[in-house]
Homo-oligomer: A and B are copies of this chain.
Amino acid sequence: MIDHLSKFISTSNSTTVKGIGDDAAVLDHDKYYEVVTNDLLIEGVHFDLSYTPLKHLGYKSVMVNLSDVFAMNAQPSQITVGIAISNRFSLEAIEELYSGIILACEKFGVDLVGGDTSSSLSGLVISISALGRVDKSSITYRNTAKTNDLICVTGNLGAAYIGLQILNREKQVFKDNPSIQPDLEGNDYVLERQLKPEARGDVIQELKKLKVLPTSMIDISDGLASELKHLCKASSKGCRIYEVKIPIDPQTVTRCEDFNLNPTVCALNGGEDYELLFTVDQSVYETIKDIPYISIIGHITEASAGLAMIDASDHESPIKAQGWDGLNPDSKIQ
């Protein structure tokens, strides 16, 4: 839909460098660029309050936005927070939500500078806008990957999705028989990845220190497949990635077995990992190859080669993005 609407939208203000079409808009401020991004979190669509603590929700709402700022290689500076709440929330509950928002801000030295609170006739709505700054020479777009660039991802993928499956399963068990307590033992890591994701500001800092400037970057909010497609389409390129190189945490693999899910499929299509996908020139291979939280998973090709994944038996298959619709029980990712 955004693609459709953006056809009607042109920019005319001389300070607008980039409008719709990347993780954040880019504005010119003479000596540097400012990035600005906005995300909505809607109850029943993006979160389920029956298992989401309000403090975690506040924290995650900010991280979702900061992840977009980091994807532009920028440092976040300020956020505004708009919240619509029904009167079923106590003042204490609202404070709990804000305490998570403030905790996330403090982690990255970001100021909460404004916003709006409103009553809501139905569910909770959280709208956050984040601002950040970046040197003009350091900004990273998604449309600037070059042929033969290495494709890198941070952290590991698929955990947030499997965490969500566990939460939904235990919710169903509880609904069927409220005397059964939720069985969340041994799932700490994947649950935390779902409930309290961390935006990768640390990676941005580390790359800066190493003087490695990505040739393109995007955040992985909707799953690796979908973001690879965005990056390649915007850059008019193709790609080859290697299944065995996709970073997946052992706990994710084990839990995938419980659900009879393929871990690679979860990593490709699960979403909500808030990791970064970026490309670098081959010349920096030696500099980054041993960084534990960066995995080189493949390389950029000419567009004509298409997007494909190569599995352990050297079999090549095209990459399909199925997107993410976590709370929709009809949406299967297999």
Which A residues are closer than 8 A to B by beta carbons?
1-2, 4-5, 8-9, 11-13, 15-16, 18-20, 24-25, 27, 29-31, 34, 36-40, 42-46, 77-78, 80-84, 91, 94-95, 98-99, 102, 109-123, 125, 127, 129, 131, 133
Report how far A47 CA is from B42 CA in the complex, Å: 19
- Contact in complex: A19, B114 (CB < 8 Å): yes
Q: How many copies of this chain does one complex carry? A: 2
Q: Given the known inter-chain contacts A20-B112, A110-B13, please indicate yes or no for A38 contacting B129, CB distance below 8 A.
A: yes
With A1-B91, A20-B114, A95-B8 known as contacts, the answer to whether A82 contacts B121 (CB < 8 A) is no
Q: Do A27 and B125 have beta carbons less than 8 Å apart? A: no
Complex contact A42–B119 (CB within 8 A): yes
A120–B45 CB distance below 8 A: yes
The answer on a CB contact under 8 Å between B20 and A102 is no
Other contacts beyond A16-B78, A19-B113: 20, CB < 8 A: A1-B91, A2-B117, A8-B95, A11-B112, A12-B109, A15-B77, A15-B78, A18-B113, A19-B111, A19-B112, A20-B113, A29-B29, A40-B118, A42-B125, A43-B121, A45-B118, A45-B120, A80-B129, A122-B123, A127-B127
Q: How far apart sit A25 and B131, CA to CA, in the bound complex (Å)?
A: 12
Instruction: Please give, as numbers and ranges, the residues of chain B lying within 8 Å of A31 by CB-CB distance.
Output: 30
- Which among A24, A77, A114 has the greatest number of chain B C-beta atoms within 10 A? A114
Contacting residue for A5 out of B1, B27, B95, CB 8 A: B95
Count chain B CB atoms within 10 A of each CB in A4, A80, A102 and give the residue with the most.
A80
Q: Which B residues lie within 8 Å of A125 (CB)?
A: 40, 42, 84, 125, 127
Nearest CB on B from A88, distance (A): 14
Rounded to whole angstroms, the CA-CA distance of A29 and B127 in the bound complex is 25
A72 CB to closest chain B CB, in angstroms? 11
Q: Which residues of B contact A34 (CB under 8 A)?
A: 29, 34
19 A-B residue pairs with Cβ-Cβ distance under 8 Å, sorted by A, are A1-B94, A5-B98, A9-B98, A9-B102, A13-B109, A16-B113, A20-B114, A27-B113, A27-B131, A29-B29, A36-B114, A36-B131, A37-B114, A38-B82, A42-B84, A42-B121, A42-B125, A45-B121, A121-B122
